[in-house]
């Protein structure tokens, strides 16, 4: 518990240090992508598309997540830091608890060292506190792995589809995930039963990805243009009574 609280506090301190450096140094601490994220969120708050911001090539859900940046500029950084610490918790939860001897004095679980290698890593701390959102993608991928280990194949597919929608590069894990699902089947099962888990995973991932990516068709209303020829229906006066 102290590990997570301490690593979270370190990240918050780095966020505020970044504010100081951005104000007094020509070398900015904040990632330039975070400026793009914030501008896209501001555009969305104004009723515009986040893609009106040049170089914004990310999921529109990212701009929705960072809408509070309009009022609190460090909101997104705090969200990324929270995701970063949550990743450390998942790293600890997903690793086996095989003991590692330390100076022959005490035995510390392996999962603890795995969490330390993430939570106290200056590289990962700097990435999230500068405003880079990679921790969100990693959090999705680890949640997918947790769901697979828990036997929730459909949920894992939905999370994976969301991760690929968020950033394209998690698509490289599709083959390894499918092979893992094939290999996890009990020996002696028929081929259709062995193919069922990867098929469910692929269907759920594809449905989530397409559902989040496909845009609804726009209906174009036809506007009537005024006639270019003058009206010839002039009123005729009747015979006077």
% of the chain residues with pLDDT over 90: 48
Question: Exposed/middle/buried for 212, CB within 10 Å: 0-12, 13-18, 19+?
Answer: middle
Phi first, then psi: what are they for 108, rounded to 5°? -110, 130
Measure CA 210 to chain center: 16
Write out pLDDT tens, residues 72-108.
999 999 999 999 999 999 998 887 655 554 444 456 6
CA distance 94 to 142: 8
Question: In this structure, are residues 134 and 125 in contact, taking their beta carbons and an 8 Å threshold?
Answer: no
> Residue 150's pLDDT is what?
86
Residue-wise over 5-42: b if at least 16 C-beta within 10 A, else e?
eebbebbeebbeebeeeeeeeeeebbbeebebbbbbbb
> Residue 13's pLDDT is what?
95
Angle ∠(213,218,221) on CA atoms, nearest 5: 175
Find tokens 């269907």 and name the residue: 203
CA distance 129 to 116: 18
């Amino acid at each position: 518990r102290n590990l997570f609280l301490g690593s979270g506090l370190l990240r918050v301190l780095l966020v505020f240090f970044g504010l100081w450096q951005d104000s007094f140094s020509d070398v900015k601490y904040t990632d330039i992508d975070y400026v793009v994220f914030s501008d896209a969120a501001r555009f969305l708050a104004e009723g515009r598309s986040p893609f009106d911001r040049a170089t914004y090539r990310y999921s529109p859900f990212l701009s929705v997540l960072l809408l509070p940046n309009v009022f609190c500029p460090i909101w997104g950084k705090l969200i990324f830091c929270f995701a970063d610490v949550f990743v450390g918790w998942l790293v600890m939860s997903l690793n086996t608890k095989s003991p590692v001897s330390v100076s022959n004095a005490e035995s510390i679980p392996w999962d603890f060292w795995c969490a330390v290698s993430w939570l106290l890593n200056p590289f990962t701390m700097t990435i999230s506190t500068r405003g880079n959102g990679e921790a969100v993608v990693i959090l999705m991928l680890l949640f997918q792995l947790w769901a697979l280990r828990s036997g929730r194949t459909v949920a894992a597919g939905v999370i994976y589809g969301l991760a690929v929608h968020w950033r394209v590069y998690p698509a490289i894990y599709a083959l390894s995930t499918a092979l893992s699902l094939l290999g996890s089947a009990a020996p002696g099962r028929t081929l259709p039963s062995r193919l069922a888990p990867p098929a469910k995973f692929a269907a759920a991932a594809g449905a989530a990805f397409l559902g989040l990516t496909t845009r609804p068709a726009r209906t174009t209303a036809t506007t009537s243009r005024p006639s270019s020829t003058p009206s010839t229906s002039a009123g005729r006066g009747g015979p006077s009574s």
